C-alpha cells in the first residue's frame, strides 16, 4: 500500500486519522507519519488497515461512501491523469 493511496483511501472512505488510528490500535500521529512517508507499516498493519477500511465501508450507507473498488479505480484515474506524473 503506497502512502498516497493510504491517505486518499482514508479520505475517500470518510475516515479521520483519529478514527482510523482507533480502529487499528494506533495513534492519529502514527497514521499521519505513515501518510507522509515517515513510517512504513508492517505487512500485518497493512492487513489491519485494509480490514479497517472494509469494515468501515460496510458499516456506512452505501449511497454516501465509495466502495473499495471504486476508491481504487478513482486512485488509478487520478494517478493516470496527473499532469505531474513522473516528476520527482
Residue pLDDT tens, the chain, 88 long? 566 788 888 888 888 999 999 999 999 999 999 998 899 899 999 899 988 888 876 665 544 556 667 777 777 777 776 655 544 4
86 within domain boundaries: no
87 within domain boundaries: no
88 within domain boundaries: no
- Structural domain that includes position 72: 3-81
What total number of domains does the chain contain?
1
Check residue 62 and give its pLDDT. 47
21 within domain boundaries: yes
77 within domain boundaries: yes
Q: Which residues contact 4 (CB under 8 A, 6 or more apart)?
A: none
Spatial distance between the Cα atoms of 30 and 87, rounded to a whole number of angstroms: 27
Q: What's the CATH code of the domain at 28? A: 1.10.260.40
Longest dimension (CA), the chain: 38
Check residue 82 and give its pLDDT. 62
Amino acid at each position: 500500500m503506497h502512502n498516497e493511496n493510504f491517505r486518499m483511501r482514508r479520505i475517500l472512505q470518510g475516515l479521520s486519522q483519529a478514527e482510523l488510528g482507533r480502529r487499528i490500535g494506533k495513534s492519529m500521529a502514527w497514521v499521519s507519519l505513515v501518510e507522509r512517508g515517515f513510517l512504513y507499516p508492517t505487512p500485518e498493519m497493512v492487513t489491519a488497515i485494509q480490514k479497517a477500511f472494509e469494515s468501515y465501508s460496510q458499516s456506512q450507507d452505501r449511497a454516501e461512501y465509495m466502495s473499495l473498488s471504486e476508491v481504487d479505480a478513482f486512485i488509478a484515474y487520478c494517478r493516470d491523469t496527473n499532469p505531474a506524473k513522473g516528476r520527482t
